[in-house]
Amino acid sequence: MRGMCYCRTCQNISGGAGNLFMAVSAVSFQFTNGTPGSFNKNDRPGSPTRHFCTICGVHLTARSDRAPSAVLIKVGTLDDPSVFAGPDLVTWTSEMQKFHSLPPGIPAHPEFPWPKKMPAE
């Protein structure tokens, strides 16, 4: 799954824009250098735990109890972001700002459309 999120937390993290992500299997994912910091927006029930680099502060991943089999990787952290090829869906359009735009022809959802099953383990 490839997506773009416009939730307020992603807007905060990105400096006001949306946040591009890719979902991968949690079973095969691991950090290979160092241990990231983490935070959770406790004021938002169901909010994912977000991981960031403790040296530079870059947002790396997000994990949710709603989808424990997946990790959302932030596209800007990839060595080759061109593998992203654009979002398959846009989430949290209910929190978009007037200056945000939707990619044409891409399904958009007011909140995260939690699938019955995330990427295979």
pTM of the model: 0.80
How does DSSP classify residue 108?
B
Q: What's the burial of 97, exposed, middle or buried (CB within 10 Å: 0-12/13-18/19+)?
A: exposed
Write the pLDDT tens digit of every residue in 38-75: 988 777 767 789 999 999 888 899 998 888 889 999 99
**Domains of the chain: residue spans and CATH:** 2-95 (3.90.1590.10)
Q: Give the closest residue to 72 by CA, choosing from 56, 93, 94, 88.
A: 88
Q: Give the closest residue to 75 by CA, choosing from 18, 15, 8.
A: 18
Question: Mean pLDDT for the chain?
Answer: 87
